[in-house]
Amino acid sequence: METLKSVGSRIGNLYDEFVTRHLNHESETLQEISRLKESLVHIDFSFGNPICDCFPPAAKAGARAFYLNTRSYPRSRGIDRIRDTVSQYATQELFNGARILSRNNVIPGIGTTHLYFSIARAFLNEGEVCLVTAPGYGIFSYISEEGGACTYSLLLKKSNRYRFLPTELRMAIEEINGSGRKVKAFLFMNPHNPTGNVYSREDELIEIGRVLKEKHILIIEDMAYMGTEFDQGQSVKPICLYCPELFDQTITLLSLSKAYGMAAIRAAIAISSEENIQIIKTELSKSVDSVPIPQQEALAATFAVDFNISRARIQFLSKNAEEYQYRTALMVAMIDGVEHIDHRYRQRVVNEVTAILGMRLSVEILSGINGVEVEIIPSSGFFLPVSFAGWKGLYFAGKKIETCHDLIIDVLAQAARVLVLPGSAMMWPNNDWVVRMSLVPESLDESGIPPRSNIIIGLKRVYEIGKQLSHGLRT
């Protein structure tokens, strides 16, 4: 009997053969992928894992660190040489040389969550408010409250593609301040999780900055998804590039987890004024004495200004961004219908879905899934918000789908064997029927099956459930 690992290996070989040949017709070989996949367990769209393996220069630097001076404890502020490297990168790549940074303007952390936790503890006092967007990254919303502070939400609207306007930001701050509370900080995720929105227009950032400057708000600028923008020519920049007067009240976070494929090693950097960095250092030392040397070396190898590293970084990010954009098109085509995607991807999507599912089923599924629609098409990152509101109140297997629990547990997880992240985990405003689906779904058996076939098989399962729904019990 084949093990799951061997099944996954065979599927991988078959899938690679398909990609190489660019087949656009049914084949027994490729249909075997579907047959084999159906014998496996859940496909998990709820993960936040990136598509790529580790950025090669960072992998080499991190591995090499294990053989160099491992007997010495690193300092809590970080290795000076590495801080010099990252500060030079920030000076040239982030601030375009307009602001000269030194090692005292940066400090490493064990991932952005670690840094955010330390920042919240250090800067937010009891009763003060951290303003976050909703939807947003749910974990950060309660981290802000660890020291007794409060988290309030700036509700994003579908009518504006879940982007906030500077006027809305101002109104939210003034409303909270007028209630007797005081907004101390604003979590500005750019690119945004989970919508994939990108704030890259200079005029827009200047207006946002003007509001935050006037209201004396600490800006926690989470740029963890920087580098995943679909349009690499419109990559995000720190708000301080356009509003230099905000530097002393801004803390910018960069990460290796998302764009650089190193989520497992937990490495990030904070950039701010010397005073703010010293405050963060003091708080970090209360939870961990220092960031491990391999993580620091990986940071330096990624955020370096060396010509060869810069070229490798551009090529690496561009390749991954193109793949994320294609996967977005693939999922939109299967959920909303192939006519809703860019012309340049249509034939490729049709070919790939047909090769896995066969001609008849691909024609059906590429017309869309009944009652399901994409909530917003992202401009970055690797998530697709999807609305299942059309399934609310319908019947499946004799049971009415009344709650999100019914949808996510009974229908999607148990019947379709598909796992998603519920809207409540993302603070989705007034609509838990929106779920987050990753562009990099994984099989829980860890069989190594190619992720794009996971997308196709997973959405096929959702499509088949949609066909079985009814408006009432059959008698």
Backbone angles phi, psi at 97, to 5 degrees: 80, 0
- As to burial, measured by CB atoms within 10 angstroms (0-12 exposed, 13-18 middle, 19+ buried), residue 462 is buried
**Residues in the chain, total:** 475
Lowest mean pLDDT of 345-349, 413-417, 427-431, name the range: 427-431
Mean pLDDT of the region 140-154: 86
- As to burial, measured by CB atoms within 10 angstroms (0-12 exposed, 13-18 middle, 19+ buried), residue 98 is exposed
CATH match of 73-305 with 3.40.640.10: yes
- Token pair, residue 66, equals 């294990």
Q: At 195, which amino acid appears?
A: T
Lowest mean pLDDT of 217-231, 266-280, 286-300, 379-393, name the range: 286-300
* Cis upstream peptide for 135 (omega within 30°): yes
> 3-state DSSP call for residue 475?
coil
Q: What does the buried/exposed string (b/e) look like for 37-50 if buried means 16 or more CB atoms within 10 Å of the residue's CB?
A: beebebbbbbebbb
pLDDT at residue 68 greater than cutoff 80: no
Lowest mean pLDDT of 171-175, 308-312, 330-334, 438-442, name the range: 438-442
Residues 6+ apart with CB under 8 A from 177: 183, 215
Identify the helix (H) or strand (E) that includes residue 250. Answer: strand 250-255
The helix-helix angle for 451-468 and 28-38 (nearest 10°) equals: 70
| Res 417: pLDDT | 93
Confidence of residue 72 (pLDDT cuts 50, 70, 90): confident
250-255 and 218-222 beta bridge pairing: parallel
| Res 232: pLDDT | 82
Confidence of residue 27 (pLDDT cuts 50, 70, 90): very low
pLDDT at residue 361 greater than cutoff 90: yes
Lowest mean pLDDT of 148-152, 270-274, 336-340, name the range: 148-152
Would you give the DSSP letter of residue 411? I
| Res 446: pLDDT | 52
Put residue 76 in one of left, alpha, beta given phi > 0 → left and psi -120 to 50 → alpha: alpha
End-to-end CA distance of the chain: 43
| Res 209: pLDDT | 98
- Token pair, residue 430, equals 């007034």
pLDDT at residue 21 greater than cutoff 80: no
Backbone angles phi, psi at 464, to 5 degrees: -65, -35
The predicted-structure confidence for 176-232, as pLDDT tens digits, reads as follows 999 999 999 999 999 999 999 999 999 999 999 999 999 999 999 999 999 999 998
| Res 473: pLDDT | 58
| Res 40: pLDDT | 53
pLDDT at residue 77 greater than cutoff 70: yes
Mean pLDDT of the region 73-95: 92
Q: Nearest-CA neighbor of 44 among 462, 461, 441? A: 441
Mean pLDDT of the region 420-449: 81
Q: Nearest-CA neighbor of 11 among 453, 439, 460? A: 453
Per cent of the chain over pLDDT 70 is 89
Q: Nearest-CA neighbor of 288 among 473, 77, 56, 63? A: 77
The predicted-structure confidence for 103-134, as pLDDT tens digits, reads as follows 999 999 999 999 999 999 999 999 999 999 99
- As to burial, measured by CB atoms within 10 angstroms (0-12 exposed, 13-18 middle, 19+ buried), residue 35 is exposed
CATH number for the domain running over 4-53+319-466: 3.90.1150.10
Distance CA 72, CA 80 (A): 14
Would you give the DSSP letter of residue 59? H
Q: Nearest-CA neighbor of 183 among 220, 146, 158, 156? A: 220
Domain extent listing, the chain:
4-53+319-466, 73-305
Q: Across the beta sheet with 383-387, what order do the strands follow?
A: 373-374, 383-387, 434-438
- Token pair, residue 122, equals 């250090």
| Res 396: pLDDT | 96
Mean pLDDT of the region 353-376: 95
| Res 373: pLDDT | 97
Q: Look over the chain and give the mean of its residue pLDDT values, rounded to a whole number.
A: 88
Q: Nearest-CA neighbor of 296 among 467, 106, 142? A: 106
- Token pair, residue 428, equals 């989705």
pTM for this predicted structure: 0.88
**Contact of 36 with 10, CB cutoff 8 Å:** yes
pLDDT at residue 474 greater than cutoff 60: no
Q: Nearest-CA neighbor of 383 among 144, 138, 150, 151? A: 138
The predicted-structure confidence for 311-352, as pLDDT tens digits, reads as follows 999 999 999 999 999 999 999 999 999 999 999 999 999 999
Q: Taking the C-alpha atoms of 303, 308, 312 and 314 in order, what is their torsion angle to the nearest 10 degrees?
A: 70
Would you give the DSSP letter of residue 53? P
Cα–Cα distances in Å, from 78 out to 115, 284, 293, 294, 388? 13, 11, 9, 12, 46
| Res 241: pLDDT | 95
